[in-house]
């Protein structure tokens, strides 16, 4: 009988099938557990591994009786347009007893709500004194210098008001920076001599830039009254800037321009004060500066009249109203907006600047 050799082959096939099944089972169910997807920090390398940014820790539960934390409030500020107004009666006397309800403000024909109101009789002054030293005013320079010194002596209050001196002929020049020392300003004024052409527009432009950021009070409110006092005949023959550039600069600086004309032509001496019968081209320029900025023009004839002009400016600066409103038009496109301020009381005239430029921070914004 021939021996059967097929049994060893069957055994080998059977053992191979068992081994293959075991391998498949291990692959599907490994004995070593897979590491967790997000290991604790203590098990990470060096203990410094951070959690992914998208996973945020839940806030701790509030304890019984514990007051909830206050949620921060998002606050926004409203830009206010600031106005300084002067009110006079038919006799040009200052009216200082009006209330908030007596005024009405319109911007581009739309009535505005007055947010802040006050009688600004004690606001710190920042004054730029612009002295025309061109050849055209040579005969009147001496008494202009003395009158300007008297004005600063009577207006500047110690430890409160400040002024700077600028002269202009061929070009503007700051002779004395902001100071409260009248003696320093007086000495600088007396040193000036006349000669050369007239760059009035450039002087207004440069002075407006200077007074935009004046020294502010160290204590109390940061509000100041910005004033430019210009002594000139209004003629210009050397400026690089146009008249409109100078007016725009003054409006943006919130500087009221008080002009004192040195042109004595066409002046009537009848009555208690000189009266201009005919405006020369230079006078019209001074009128535009004053009208657009909320200031005033004076036409003195002799030294006494010039002194009175300075007295009137000082009195007006102490007899004004402060008005602020938030524009109903929220657009800040840089365009010019017209302002009209009047009062319901009959026979009164309100004088203030005629408008502002709607930028991201309106002129006088706070």
**In this structure, are residues 144 and 298 in contact, taking their beta carbons and an 8 Å threshold?**
no
Q: CATH 3.40.50.410 region(s) of the chain?
A: 122-318
**Superfamily name and number for 122-318:** von Willebrand factor, type A domain (3.40.50.410)
Per-run averaged pLDDT (10 residues), the chain, 366 residues: 48 48 47 42 42 46 51 49 94 93 97 91 89 90 87 91 97 98 97 95 98 92 91 93 97 95 77 78 96 94 81 90 94 93 95 90 47
Residue 183: both structure tokens together: 């003696």
Residue 178: both structure tokens together: 């902001």
For residue 182, give the 3-state DSSP assignment.
helix
For residue 322, give the 3-state DSSP assignment.
strand
Q: What is the pLDDT of residue 361?
A: 55
Q: CB within 8 A of 105, min separation 6: which ones? A: 83, 111, 112, 114, 323, 325, 339, 340, 341
**In this structure, are residues 312 and 298 in contact, taking their beta carbons and an 8 Å threshold?**
yes
């Amino acid at each position: 009988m021939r021996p059967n050799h097929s049994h060893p082959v069957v055994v080998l096939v059977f053992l191979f099938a068992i081994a293959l099944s075991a391998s498949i089972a291990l692959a599907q169910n490994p004995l070593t557990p897979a590491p967790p997807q997000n290991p604790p920090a203590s098990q990470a390398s060096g203990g410094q591994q951070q959690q992914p940014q998208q996973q945020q820790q839940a806030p701790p539960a509030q304890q019984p009786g514990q007051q909830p934390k206050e949620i921060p409030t998002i606050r926004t500020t409203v830009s206010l347009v600031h106005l300084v107004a002067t009110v006079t009666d038919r006799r040009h006397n200052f009216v200082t007893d009006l209330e908030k309800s007596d005024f009405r403000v319109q911007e581009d024909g739309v009535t505005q709500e007055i947010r802040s109101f006050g009688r600004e009789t004690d606001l710190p002054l920042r004054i730029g004194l612009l002295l025309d030293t061109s050849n055209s005013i040579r005969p009147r320079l001496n008494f202009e210098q003395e009158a300007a010194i008297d004005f600063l002596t009577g207006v500047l209050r110690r430890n409160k008001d400040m002024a700077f001196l600028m002269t202009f002929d061929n070009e503007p020049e700051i002779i004395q920076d902001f100071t409260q020392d009248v003696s320093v300003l007086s000495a600088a004024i007396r040193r000036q001599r006349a000669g050369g052409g007239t760059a009035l527009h450039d002087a207004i432009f440069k002075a407006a830039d200077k007074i935009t950021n004046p020294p502010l009070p160290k204590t109390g409110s940061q509000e100041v009254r910005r004033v430019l006092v210009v002594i000139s005949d209004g003629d210009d023959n050397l400026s690089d800037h146009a008249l409109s550039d100078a007016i725009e600069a003054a409006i943006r600086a919130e500087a009221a321009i008080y002009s004192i004309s040195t042109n004595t032509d066409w002046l009537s001496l009848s009555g208690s004060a000189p009266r201009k019968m005919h405006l020369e081209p230079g006078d019209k320029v001074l009128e535009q500066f004053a009208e657009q900025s909320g200031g005033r023009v004076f036409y003195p004839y002799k030294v006494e009249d010039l002194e009175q002009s300075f007295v009137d400016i000082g009195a007006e600066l102490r007899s004004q109203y402060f008005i602020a409103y938030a524009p109903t038009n929220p657009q800040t496109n840089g365009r010019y907006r017209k302002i009209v301020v009047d009062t319901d009381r009959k026979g009164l005239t309100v004088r203030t600047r005629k408008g502002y430029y709607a930028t991201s921070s309106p002129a006088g914004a706070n």
